[in-house]
Amino acid sequence: MNKKIGGLAGVIAGETAICTVGKEGLGLTYRGYDIRALATSSTFEEVAWLLIYGQLPDRRELQTYREKLMRLREIPAILKQLLEQIPLHTNPMDVLRTACSVLGMLEPEQNTHRAEDIANRLIAVFPGILLYWYHFHQSGNRIHTQSDEETTAGHFLTLLQGDKPNPEWRHVLDVSLILYAEHEFNASTFAARITASTESDFYSAITSGIGTLRGPLHGGANEAAMELISRFKTPDEAERGVRTLLENKEKIMGFGHRVYKISDPRSDIIRPLSQKLSEKAEDGYLFAISERIEALMWQEKHLFPNLDFYSATAYHFCKIPTFFFTPLFVISRITGWSAHILEQRRDNRLIRPAANYIGPASRTYPLMTERA
Amino acid sequence: MNKKIGGLAGVIAGETAICTVGKEGLGLTYRGYDIRALATSSTFEEVAWLLIYGQLPDRRELQTYREKLMRLREIPAILKQLLEQIPLHTNPMDVLRTACSVLGMLEPEQNTHRAEDIANRLIAVFPGILLYWYHFHQSGNRIHTQSDEETTAGHFLTLLQGDKPNPEWRHVLDVSLILYAEHEFNASTFAARITASTESDFYSAITSGIGTLRGPLHGGANEAAMELISRFKTPDEAERGVRTLLENKEKIMGFGHRVYKISDPRSDIIRPLSQKLSEKAEDGYLFAISERIEALMWQEKHLFPNLDFYSATAYHFCKIPTFFFTPLFVISRITGWSAHILEQRRDNRLIRPAANYIGPASRTYPLMTERA
């Protein structure tokens, strides 16, 4: 196959007003705002509003939005019962994919709905779904899925850890949710747009996004990065280990990118946050290990870390279990998916490409007795 | 946006050895076999095997395959409980999308699995899932989801109607399942391939396919066609009604196709079957209505009926409720989706296109007090 065609790399599949990725090789903007400004000065709920409604909220809009999200955190009883029956060893991405699909039945999209409200409902309820399921199977406790926390980051940490969250952890998680929120026509977003392009419902499109993000070549990369980093006890050991992996042609997750060619601007933001957390963490040596892996990957492969690599240790230092890394990506990316579904709907055309046929030429249908 | 780009129409998105659509404007082949030969001489289970395993089964393989599918019809208890809790007015496509996602948790794909076996499981269990849910809410009966019927068509009709199925209906449904089985890079198949391209699991990819097929611009078209046809009592009334719809620029579902330019070869196969069924049906006059609509659409718009148009009346004359038309499309198309997921996995590259940015230029992040 023509390598230019493979995976639609570089093929323009449509228009968007939401995001630029990799302008001059490194930029990332959401609705025209630089990701560095958003990460420094904004909060996840502002970014969610920006993506879904198209502009930054003023103070009153933001406050109203936060209160609205807080009111949307309750899980329907039928879904709770199902969560109690799912085994603990289930992939949490399967839990979210299923929960989204179930909500599509219990609270179906109707003509009277604003699709934006479904997006808000999912952002608000997903932390509770994940952590209700998790705690029920860990301890038998049916947790309350409300908290006093106004932010998604604080709410998640409270439900996970059961206490008022560490403010630094809450801040780092908030920034990471901003960084993960949107990324143009990535695979999960494009899958969601295809689903939307048949005029299917909002939940179906988000369900496609979750199932697509689940793969290790996409959202699963942050978990794979953590798994790699935590194999080692020292930087030297990590260097030896990763060299061996490279010699064996194994893929090292968390490096390089389809679109970015020089660096991932999100990595430059999350890296110092991970470093700062490492100073107080009991296994803070993992940061030095990740630095050594970064240096080696650049030296050997000229690959730079993408967002997933230092997000892994940042989450780890916040005492978030590794299997929640990709689900956190979902909780954030719902905002980007939603913006794209709304955009697709506003000027919809069915997304239906063509294929090069490389199969058998026309052949005669054989009788059963003529078959090998 | 460049209209040639919109919806990826005509853009080659990859290679396939499974299917040709629209060669010389009208052909359809599965693995090199003409759809007319398959519809005349084959059965759905042979076609399923052909698509999933790459060649036609011999007599022994076919018999073994049928027996295997029969053994895979049982629904897990957790899923049955969930089906009992879903309200009857739920869209059955949401039931299938959720059921697929739930099975992905209860019977997750593991390295030791053959993906083909997951495909077979879904083909086998979906009729029972749909009809267990349906009958429980209709009558409170918890039906057995086994039957003596060796074919998917016969099994579906038996579970739906509770009797040994009418042999002619079984035959027509079997042919229609062959016609719906596969269609190259249509929207749902392409969505399934994107999900597979991140190395996500088999269930996630099929779930994306179901959610995408659900839309009225894709799988939902057969239901929309039936809804239209059944509005009228006579051909004259239909002609007046459809003329009015055309004058109001409303879309008439079941006509035209992104790829076929002259006719849809599947329509030529299902049309006479619908006609034959109409002769014995109490509301057989609906066939004459559909013929009149076909003639008018050609005269006014030069649009030909696609598979969905005459499938609608064919299913209706088999006494299949309209809301099961698109779910039947799923039960058939699982075979095509599965073939494509397997093909994508064999030579995978992440599917991640690019976009034209048409949004705001870079702008400065405003303080909260500076926002409008």
pLDDT number for residue B258: 82
Q: Which residues of B fall within a CB distance of 8 Å from A185?
A: 352-355
Tokens for B148, please give them. Answer: 């003596």
The C-alpha atoms of residue A132 and residue B110 are separated, in whole angstroms, by 25
The C-alpha atoms of residue B26 and residue A30 are separated, in whole angstroms, by 44
Contact B59, B110 (CB under 8 A): no
Look-up of token digits 């064996």:
A248
Q: Is A185 on the interface with B (CB under 8 A)?
A: yes
Q: Is residue B138 part of a domain?
A: no
Query: In sequence order, which residues have a C-beta less than 8 Å from that of residue A197 and are 6 or more positions away?
Result: A344, A348, A349, A350, A351, B7, B187, B215, B217
Q: Is residue B187 part of a domain?
A: no
pLDDT number for residue A2: 44
Low-confidence ranges of chain B (pLDDT < 70): 1-5, 24-26
Name the pairing type of β-strands A354-357 and A12-16.
unpaired
Q: Do B215 and A198 touch (CB under 8 A)?
A: yes
The C-alpha atoms of residue A219 and residue B135 are separated, in whole angstroms, by 39
Active site residue B155: no
How many CB atoms are located within 10 Å of the residue B364 CB? Answer: 10
Q: Is residue A187 part of a domain?
A: no
ipTM summary value: 0.96
Q: Which residues of B fall within a CB distance of 8 Å from A194?
A: 187, 190-191, 194, 212
The C-alpha atoms of residue B292 and residue A310 are separated, in whole angstroms, by 64
Q: Give the pLDDT confidence of B170-222 residue by residue, as tens digits.
A: 999 999 999 999 999 999 999 999 999 999 999 999 999 999 999 999 998 99
pLDDT number for residue A1: 42
pLDDT number for residue A25: 60
Q: Give the pLDDT confidence of A286-340 residue by residue, as tens digits.
A: 999 999 999 999 999 999 999 999 999 999 999 999 999 999 999 999 999 999 9
How many CB atoms are located within 10 Å of the residue B139 CB? Answer: 9
Q: Is B295 on the interface with A (CB under 8 A)?
A: no
Res. A3: pLDDT tops 70: no
Q: Is residue A271 part of a domain?
A: yes
Q: Which residues of A fall within a CB distance of 8 Å from B95?
A: 105
Q: Is residue A101 part of a domain?
A: no
* Strand ranges, E, within chain B: 12-16, 19-23, 27-30, 33-34, 354-357
How far off is chain B from A233, nearest CA to CA, in Å?
29
Q: Is A84 on the interface with B (CB under 8 A)?
A: no
How many CB atoms are located within 10 Å of the residue B20 CB? Answer: 22
How many CB atoms are located within 10 Å of the residue B138 CB? Answer: 10
- Percentage above 70 pLDDT, chain A: 98
Q: How many domains does chain A have?
A: 1
pLDDT number for residue A13: 92
Kindly identify which residue of chain B lies nearest to residue A340, measuring between CA atoms.
B355
Res. A134: pLDDT tops 90: yes
Q: Is residue A305 part of a domain?
A: yes
Tokens for B18, please give them. Answer: 């499974």
Q: Which residues of B fall within a CB distance of 8 Å from A13?
A: 5, 8, 11, 353-355
Phi, then psi, of A260 in degrees rounded to 5: -65, 135
In b/e form, how buried is each residue of B232-258, taking b as 16+ CB within 10 angstroms?
A: beebeebbebbeeeeeeeeebbbbbbb
Option in A1, A78, A219 nearest B14 (CB): A1
Tokens for A316, please give them. Answer: 């780890």
SS3 B347: coil
Q: Which residues of B fall within a CB distance of 8 Å from A11?
A: 11, 13, 353-354
Considering the candidates B34, B135, B218, B268, report the single residue annotated as catalytic: B218
Residue range A176-190: mean pLDDT, rounded: 97
pLDDT number for residue B267: 96
Res. A4: pLDDT tops 80: no
Domain range for B306: 225-317
Tokens for B30, please give them. Answer: 């599965």
Interface list for B 143-182 with A (CB within 8 A): none
Cα separations in angstroms, A265 against A262, A271, A304, A308, B86: 9, 10, 10, 12, 45
Helices and strands counted in chain B (H then E): 16, 5
pLDDT number for residue B259: 85
The predicted model scores a pTM of 0.97
Option in A85, A355, A368 nearest B185 (CB): A355
Kindly identify which residue of chain A lies nearest to residue B218, measuring between CA atoms.
A198
pLDDT number for residue A298: 96
Contact A211, B204 (CB under 8 A): yes
Interface list for A 338-357 with B (CB within 8 A): 347, 349-357
Cα separations in angstroms, A270 against A21, A49, A193, A197: 17, 22, 28, 34
Using pLDDT thresholds of 50, 70 and 90, give the confidence band for residue A5: low
> For the domain that residue A280 is a member of, what is the CATH number?
1.10.230.10
Beta bridge partners of B28: B21
